[in-house]
Amino acid sequence: MTESNKMQKQIVITCVSKEERRIFFDEVIKKCNFTSIITCSIYEALRQIEQTMPHLIICDSILPDGTVATIYDKIRPDSILKTIPILVIVVKKTKEHLVPLTGRSFEGILMGEVNGGLLKEKIMEILNARSGLSPHFVPIDKTSLDSNLILSVDALVLGSSEDDKVIYKSNAEIDPGASFVCVPKDKNKDPVLLNRGLNVIKDDGIYNVFPIKRARGKGIKWLFQLPKINISGKRTDEQDDIVRKVVFYDPKMERFTKFKEILRGYNIELFHASSLQSVINILQNYGPIIDFVYLDELPSGSGAFVQFKEFIDKFEEKKRLGVIIATTSQHISSDPYFYYIRKPFSLSLLLEMMENAYKNNKEFENALREENIKSHLEVFFQTPAKLVGFDEHGSILEVRHPISKSSKLRVDHPFINKIWNDTNEAIVTDVFQPSEASPFWYVRVEKLTGTGSKVVYWERVSKLLSDVIIEKKDEEKK
């Protein structure tokens, strides 16, 4: 499991004395990309534990209203809360500070002054010892429930661009490698299978863009009948003879040479870069004539990429460069100016990505004004998924492609809908891979309007699950 995946949406409750220490812990935890809940008393900490069922509790050994022993003694006998790890901070190595630890087993203890690096390391060590799944996790195969379900994302069709791309506005990012069935709410229009979509993330929402030529199914007919939105303000045939200039980072010279020859035939001129620093140098010297950048896998050492990203961010707004990153990683997330393409890819896909990077978001944004939008066709995207199980935070689904956190979608499964009081609107709260080699993603979904206290929620779910658990029924029969 990759570090970034495990960090996603881990809830850490911190209960320490002194304001400046609370600020320090809060900052470190947030830098780790965790959800940080800071409390200043044992009482408040216990309340938050009940509400949120955190993944980790960090607590001073003694506080004005109690000690860490109070928390320990409260949660360890509790069947739901007992597995939450506790990291104790012992500010001073005195008897008073050490007594609460006696006879109790904590997952981690830090003595004295704690620096940010050490704290982060310890947090990671404790959380890495666990899988992405909660210890309360109930797998679907222990129940009589059907694992198949459909995920749906509501979207609004805005129209099609002059280069035959259909544009939707939705609340979810789509994975470029995924296929989606687009189902119009208008029953007179047929569904259509869409592929190779892109996300364009704007302040006002997420736009999904699909090439119509890749669409399949009877619904292609209404796609072609969509009103046009003039995205770029230019005629497409004006673009044909323009030579695009690309800085092409590829460690394999032979491969670069072949791409250079091929892409020249498509009016794309490549300039070779042997490292990210070399890319930066070329951009610094020839920035005005370069149209976009291609990186073949990120070079090892994320520092170079961070430097590169900072450099790109500083580019003038009007000349904001698109960057294509070819990667074998399964973890692809959208970014306004970074276009990920999964390797291996076909030539036509590379060309399409290059075309998108060339046009970039500026043109897109200019055209999406209300007066230009002629279509408001309501649709939903559907993709199949499998129910993997349940834990105290939500339902775990298995999907073939990652769905971004905070995506809003609909989950149609009788048991889940029952837990959610007959609603199907959900939000994605966590995304991770069960193992590094897994081609699947696990997505945790929660009811969109929230579930209130986690403990209360889990008690209710456990009760409902007990009616469908097969193992228990087999035991009862015995």
Give contact residues for another protein (rule: CB under 8 A): 179, 193, 195-196, 213-214, 216-218, 220-221, 223-224, 255, 258-259, 262, 265-266, 328, 343-352, 400, 439-440
Strand 377-391, strand 148-161: pairing: antiparallel
Closest CB 181 distance from another protein, rounded Å: 8
* Nearest to another protein of 185, 258 (CB atom): 258
Residues 6+ apart with CB under 8 A from 307: 276, 280
Q: Cβ contacts of residue 348 below 8 Å, gap of 6+?
A: none
The distance of closest approach from Cβ of residue 211 to another protein in the complex, given in angstroms and rounded to an integer, is: 9
Q: Which CB, 225 or 406, lies closer to another protein? A: 225
Sign of CA dihedral 339, 4, 249, 347: negative
Helix (H, G, I), strand (E, B) or coil at 206: strand
Instruction: Tell me how far, at minimum, the Cβ of 318 lies from another protein, in Å.
Output: 29
Phi, psi of 420 (to 5 degrees): -95, 25
Largest CA distance in the chain: 81
The rounded distance, in Å, linking the Cα atoms of 97 and 95 is: 5
Q: Which is closer to another protein, CB of 71 or CB of 140?
A: 140
Nearest distance in Å: CB 400, another protein: 6
Return the DSSP state at 150.
E
DSSP letter string, 243-305:
PEEEEEE-S-HHHHHHHHHHHHTTTEEEEEESSHHHHHHHHHHHGGG--EEEEESPPSSHHHH
Tell me whether residue 13 or residue 223 sits nearer to another protein (CB atom): 223
Residue 314 CB, shortest distance to another protein, in Å, is 32
Residue 183 in 3-state DSSP?
strand
| Complex with another protein: residue 180 or 337, whichever CB lies closer | 180
Cβ-proximal residues to 323 (8 Å cutoff; 6+ apart), any chain: 292, 293, 294, 295, 312, 337, 338, 339, 357
Taking the complex as a whole, how short is the minimal distance between the CB of residue 1 and another protein, in angstroms?
A: 17
Q: How far is the CB of 345 from another protein (least distance, A)?
A: 6
DSSP string computed for 443-471: EEEEETT--S-HHHHHHHHHHHHHTTBHH
Instruction: Report in angstroms how near the CB of residue 330 gets to another protein at its nearest.
Output: 8
**Closer CB to another protein, 216 or 418, in the complex:** 216
The residue among 100 and 176 lying less far from another protein, judged by its C-beta, is 176
Residue 345 has φ and ψ, to the nearest 5°, of: -125, 160
Looking at beta carbons only, is 87 or 350 nearer to another protein? 350
Structure tokens at 117: 């690096």
